[in-house]
Amino acid sequence: MTPQQRIQRAHVQLMRSKEFCLLSGVIMCGASAVKRGIPTAYTDGWNVYYGEEFVAKLDESEVNGVVAHENLHKMLRQLPMWQTLFKQDAKRANMAADYVVNLIIEDLDPHGRVARLPEGCLLDTKYRGMNTKQVFDLLDEQGSDGNGKGNGEGNGEPLDEHGWDEASGVSEQEQAERDLDLDRAVRQGQALAGKMGGSSSRAIDELLRAKVDWREVLREFVTTATSGRDMSTWRRPNRRYLAQDMYMPSVISEAVGHIVVAIDTSGSVGGRELSAFVAEMSAICDTVTPDRVTLLWWDTQVRGVQEFDAGQYGGMVAALKPKGGGGTSFTCVTSYLRQMATQPECVVVLTDGCVSSWGDAPACPMMFAITSNVTAPYGVTVHVKGD
């Protein structure tokens, strides 16, 4: 295959893997091409370019690793966000950015099953969980000379080139549009990762906990999680991939099956949050039209069950019959799900997060809408405010 075809194959492999499918939407943002004259790879924070000779000498897993590396730079918005670091010390800023994304790749795929970094990349476990600025400051304290020396496991060089100047030249309006596209892409990717049994990382979770509209996150999760029954057809190519010279099938949507909504009634979920949450779920169900919605009221046990069929979703708020009020243990919900004859398309949970036991992750996609700053140990978390 040509280097360009190898990059296209890497896109497909990453998007199909549970480890890196969270990059699916990000990969589709901006241009991606192979060019001559680029020593390794290059990104300006939106577009990505790969050196022709560089790609040709990498094995398949290394190509995947380089593509993941570039798209994590985009996902974390390192170039537009950390312009002050570049102006202060360009080499150190490049190193800090690489340390962050390389550790994410290692955490997502520690055995290199899908993606492996080429030899000589900057990698040091002491920077795990840090953002670019924190790593930058530590490199300064260690007296780094910008060459990756003296940093434990991190002896090496930056993998790629970073177009800080190009990123700084983007207008505020265009950057805002890019940020909006990336926000949407990241949330879609995390929902897809949850559906495929993948995981995330602290850096990505922090990005998703930024100030976003929880309603939009909730709607996007349900829409993405319930698209699994769509069927593919090769009769009509998917236009989204044609720009990447990739011929992929489009989808034919079928009816959505069963959705479970589990609401914590331990007493600390406020009425405003409850009303806003159920109203939003009602609107989402009117849009995706599931066959059935099961609403569970729970604390340490499932205290009540309400069933809604298509055509009844608009009256969910008025029909609420909360039951419960004791402690809070989510294992009662996971046990209930295991006993169901068939697994639902997805489960959406409203809770304050003060849970004594979360239990094991169910096999279906999960979203936790949490009224505190707690993050659930699995699934997707969005923080709900009663506004």
Q: Tell me the domains of the chain and their CATH numbers.
A: 3-203 (no CATH), 211-230+256-383 (3.40.50)
Q: Average of pLDDT values for 340-344?
A: 88
With a cut of 90, say whether residue 39 has pLDDT above it.
Answer: yes
- Which ranges of the chain would DSSP assign to H, the alpha helix? 3-16, 24-27, 52-56, 60-75, 78-81, 83-88, 90-108, 132-141, 164-168, 172-196, 202-208, 214-225, 239-242, 271-288, 331-339
For residue 350, the tally of other CB atoms under 10 A from its CB is 23
User: Is 356 within 8 Å of 328 (Cβ atoms)?
Assistant: yes
% of the chain residues with pLDDT over 70: 83
Output 234 or 265, whichever has higher pLDDT: 265
Q: Which pLDDT score is estimated for 313?
A: 87
Please report the sign of the dihedral spanned by the C-alpha atoms of residue 192, residue 195, residue 196, residue 199: positive
With a cut of 70, say whether residue 303 has pLDDT above it.
Answer: yes
Q: Which pLDDT score is estimated for 153?
A: 43
Q: Which pLDDT score is estimated for 41?
A: 96
User: Is 216 within 8 Å of 249 (Cβ atoms)?
Assistant: no
- How far apart CA 24 and CA 213 sit, in angstroms, is 21
Q: Which pLDDT score is estimated for 185?
A: 87
Q: Average of pLDDT values for 344-358?
A: 90
Task: Please enumerate in sequence order all residues whose Cβ is within 8 A of that of 338, keeping only pairs 6 or more positions apart, or say none.
Answer: 362
Reduced to 3 states (helix: H, G, I; strand: E, B; else coil), residue 324 is coil
Output 197 or 11, whichever has higher pLDDT: 11
With a cut of 60, say whether residue 154 has pLDDT above it.
Answer: no
Q: Average of pLDDT values for 18-43?
A: 93
- How far apart CA 273 and CA 250 sit, in angstroms, is 38
Q: Average of pLDDT values for 210-224?
A: 72
pTM score of the predicted model: 0.60
With a cut of 50, say whether residue 108 has pLDDT above it.
Answer: yes
- How far apart CA 349 and CA 329 sit, in angstroms, is 13
Considering only the C-alpha atoms of the chain, give the largest distance between any 2 of them, rounded to a whole number of Å. Answer: 67
Identity (one letter) of the amino acid at 204?
I
What does 244-289 look like in DSSP terms, one character per residue? Answer: TT---EEEE---EEEEEEEEE-SS-S-HHHHHHHHHHHHHHHHHH-
With a cut of 50, say whether residue 146 has pLDDT above it.
Answer: no
With a cut of 90, say whether residue 365 has pLDDT above it.
Answer: no
- How far apart CA 346 and CA 305 sit, in angstroms, is 17
Q: Average of pLDDT values for 45-62?
A: 96
Q: Average of pLDDT values for 242-269?
A: 68
Q: Which pLDDT score is estimated for 148?
A: 40
Q: Average of pLDDT values for 324-346?
A: 89
Nearest to 190 by CA among 203, 211, 205, 212: 205
Q: Average of pLDDT values for 73-101?
A: 91
Q: Which pLDDT score is estimated for 383?
A: 81
* Exposure b/e, 155-164, CB count within 10 A at least 16 = b: ebebbbbbbb
Model confidence at 175, pLDDT cuts 50, 70, 90, reads confident
Q: Which pLDDT score is estimated for 13?
A: 95
Please report the sign of the dihedral spanned by the C-alpha atoms of residue 19, residue 20, residue 21, residue 23: positive
Rounded to the nearest integer, the mean pLDDT of the chain is 83
Nearest to 135 by CA among 168, 102, 87, 182: 102
With a cut of 80, say whether residue 239 has pLDDT above it.
Answer: no
Window from 41-55, 99-113, 366-380 with minimum mean pLDDT: 366-380
Output 34 or 328, whichever has higher pLDDT: 34
For residue 380, the tally of other CB atoms under 10 A from its CB is 28
Q: Which pLDDT score is estimated for 150?
A: 34
Output 130 or 227, whichever has higher pLDDT: 130
Window from 39-53, 253-267, 368-382 with minimum mean pLDDT: 253-267
With a cut of 80, say whether residue 170 has pLDDT above it.
Answer: yes
User: Is 272 within 8 Å of 386 (Cβ atoms)?
Assistant: yes
User: Is 370 within 8 Å of 382 (Cβ atoms)?
Assistant: yes
With a cut of 70, say whether residue 176 has pLDDT above it.
Answer: yes
- How far apart CA 273 and CA 283 sit, in angstroms, is 15
Q: Average of pLDDT values for 80-99?
A: 91
